[in-house]
Structure 1
Amino acid sequence: MKAMLRSKRFWLIAPAVLYIGFFMAVPLVQMAYVSILERGDYGGVNWGVFSMDAYVSFLFERDLMDNLVLNTDYLQVFARSFGLSAMTTVFALILGFPTAFYISTQPQGRRNFLIFLVTIPFWTNILVRNYAWMLLLRNGGLVDGMLGWIGIETGGLDILYTPYAVSIGLTYTYLPFMVLPIYASLEKLDHRLVEAAFDLGADKRRAMSRVILPLAAPGIAAGCILVFIPCLGAYVTPELLGGGKFMMIANLIGSQFGAARNWPLGAGLGFVLLALVLIAMMVYSLKFKSLPEESR
């Protein structure tokens, strides 16, 4: 123990451990405690009165006879959130992989400039970016006007306040999280392997599927995780671009802590989301460990 205290490594990591322990572990413990408390008659919680109603309410509700019956309302919100997150991840991958591949083939100086351009959206507050998309996607907005200008009659573009608008906003918000990990994998790609594939008679499509994609798999997996998980917890984009019509998990949790004043249920839903995220991370970790060493 004394040797560990004297080590430089311990003192270097101690501030980070204290920071994470205080600002992450303590709130999680507090949320876990709140989730197993009884809801107060006028909201909040009854401190010291324990109950598992928050977790039971996730799947069941009580009828007039006080019997438990299946309630799928919260499951539908989770299913909608997973569906939109998956759709956003697919869109981000479709746009992000060609972008990352193009950047990786450029000279070093141009690469740095293009990566700089990819990170520019982070300079603007997410609230401002979503309001900008509202102006673009609304009926009679810029997108509608441009389509009409080139001769495409839309009859009034009605994308705003739909799942498509939410997915577009989420894709724009989290696209850099897909581009950067894939670029990090492709940057290390030995292009002599691609040239060897061409020498052996492979066409571009076969070289892409048999050489480039397997070597970029860790970056693709990391990008999918970095896009999918934040989308599950997205709050601002579904609220603004969805117009409150398409509630996602974060909006549901926020409503429980806000208007509904059901703190135990809000905390319980938060822990259900946390468990799902941890499962996704474990699946990614196991999948990554199964990859050959040379593809990492």
Structure 2
Amino acid sequence: MKKISTPYLLLLPGFAFLFTFFVFPILSLAQVSTATPISGGDVGEFEQTLRFRNYLEAFLESREHFGRSLVYALLATFIALMISYPLAYALAFKSGKYKNVLLVLVVAPFFTSFLLRTVAWKQILGEEGFVVPPLRTLGLISESTTLTSTAGAVIIGMAYNFLPFMTLPLYASIDRIDPRTLEASGDLYANGFTTFRKVTLPLSMPGVVAGTLLTFIPAAGDYVNAELLGGPNNTMIGNVIQSRFLIPDYPTTSALSFMLMASILIIVIVYIRKAGTDEVV
């Protein structure tokens, strides 16, 4: 018998882990998504009937939540990118001996629970927080205007919670840029904007692509920010999946989860093809 090579043996634990915690759950989810409740059975009991209509019914009932989730995730990703790019640039080129300290501060929010960070934003944007009273004093918002239970609060919460996912890949990409390249651009009489557009941005595109994906994907499936910072009109698809799971309505929940994964996968593939790092206009 031919001897199995050592590299394949070393891969076995990894394959076993992926099958146990990824492939098997996905297959189980696919099986449940086409099931129907057992007539006269207990709550939560289903039988496999290959009812693919579950997908159509689940989408028609939740298409508004699908659209809202994708829009919120895109806006949160854009805000995170606008904040993280200057921050990552400053960390890479302007932080000097304080670079390590500032990097620790970037990841410091991870030392606190995701839930607690979101609750903190509920307090910050609440009536007794330090945002609403000054805005009312300046006349920027009326006395009846609130910041919580709004789409803006949900988007701000997601952008903040996923900000490190955007900042770290950007920093890693920008930090690899040789400063002499930027100096050479200046020697060729390029102004700051031209240098950024023609040199810095193209060279940092791997970090942009990685950061936007790491932010958008979890944001699209998030439900904690919508639950704590939003109102009835701000529920996302993650809230629908969570509520239907507790009923329990496992076929609908599984179908919604599969459609969410498929939607994100399609968006990611199109995005990578359009904004890949091989060719930047």
The reply to whether TM is greater than 0.5 is yes
CA deviation digits over 1:203-222, x for unaligned, max 9?
11111111111111111111
Q: State the partner residue of 1:64.
A: none
Query: Which is worse superposed, 189-198 or 88-97?
Result: 189-198
Q: State the partner residue of 2:263.
A: 276
Q: State the partner residue of 1:240.
A: 228
Distance 1:17 1:288 in 2: 31
CA deviation digits over 1:90-109, x for unaligned, max 9?
10011010000000103564
Q: Does 1:20 find its partner at 2:13? A: no
Q: Does 1:116 find its partner at 2:115? A: no
Q: Does 1:6 find its partner at 2:29? A: no
Q: Does 1:100 find its partner at 2:88? A: yes
Say if 1:107 and 1:89 are closer, same or farther in 2 by CA, change over 3 A: closer
3-state SS, counterpart of residue 291 of structure 1? coil
Asked whether the 8 Å contact 2:202–2:277 carries over to 1, the reply is no
Query: Which is worse superposed, 247-256 or 105-114?
Result: 105-114
Q: 2:174 aligns with which of 186, 192, 195?
A: 186
Q: Does 1:291 find its partner at 2:278? A: yes
Q: State the partner residue of 1:57.
A: 57
Q: Does 1:250 find its partner at 2:238? A: yes
Q: State the partner residue of 2:253.
A: 266
Q: Equivalent residues in 2 for 1:69-108 (5 A)? A: 71=60, 73-106=61-94
Distance 2:26 2:125 in 1: 38
3-state SS, counterpart of residue 46 of structure 2? strand
Deviation at residue 24 of structure 1 after TM alignment: 1.4
Aligned AA (1:240)? L
Aligned AA (2:211)? G
Identity %: 33
Q: State the partner residue of 1:200.
A: 188
3-state SS, counterpart of residue 205 of structure 2? helix
CA deviation digits over 1:47-90, x for unaligned, max 9?
2333123112034xxxxxxxxxxx4x421111101110111011
Asked whether the 8 Å contact 2:34–2:48 carries over to 1, the reply is no
Aligned AA (2:22)? M
Q: Equivalent residues in 2 for 1:35-46 (5 A)? A: 35-41=33-39, 43-46=43-46
Asked whether the 8 Å contact 1:218–1:288 carries over to 2, the reply is no
Aligned AA (2:105)? L
Say if 1:13 and 1:244 are closer, same or farther in 2 by CA, change over 3 A: farther
Deviation at residue 283 of structure 1 after TM alignment: 2.9
Q: 1:231 aligns with which of 215, 219, 223?
A: 219
Say if 1:182 and 1:290 are closer, same or farther in 2 by CA, change over 3 A: closer
Asked whether the 8 Å contact 2:169–2:208 carries over to 1, the reply is yes
Unaligned runs of 5+ in 1: 60-70
In the superposition, the TM-score normalised over structure 2's length comes to: 0.90
Deviation at residue 284 of structure 1 after TM alignment: 4.4
Distance 2:170 2:202 in 1: 12
Query: Which is worse superposed, 73-82 or 27-36?
Result: 73-82
Query: Which is worse superposed, 108-117 or 197-206?
Result: 108-117
In the superposition, the TM-score normalised over structure 1's length comes to: 0.86
3-state SS, counterpart of residue 50 of structure 1? coil
Distance 1:119 1:2 in 2: 49
Q: State the partner residue of 1:68.
A: none
Deviation at residue 184 of structure 1 after TM alignment: 1.0
Cα RMSD over matched residues? Answer: 2.2
Shift >6 Å, 4+ stretches: none
Query: Which is worse superposed, 105-114 or 227-236?
Result: 105-114
CA deviation digits over 1:103-128, x for unaligned, max 9?
01035642222111100001100111
Aligned AA (1:189)? I
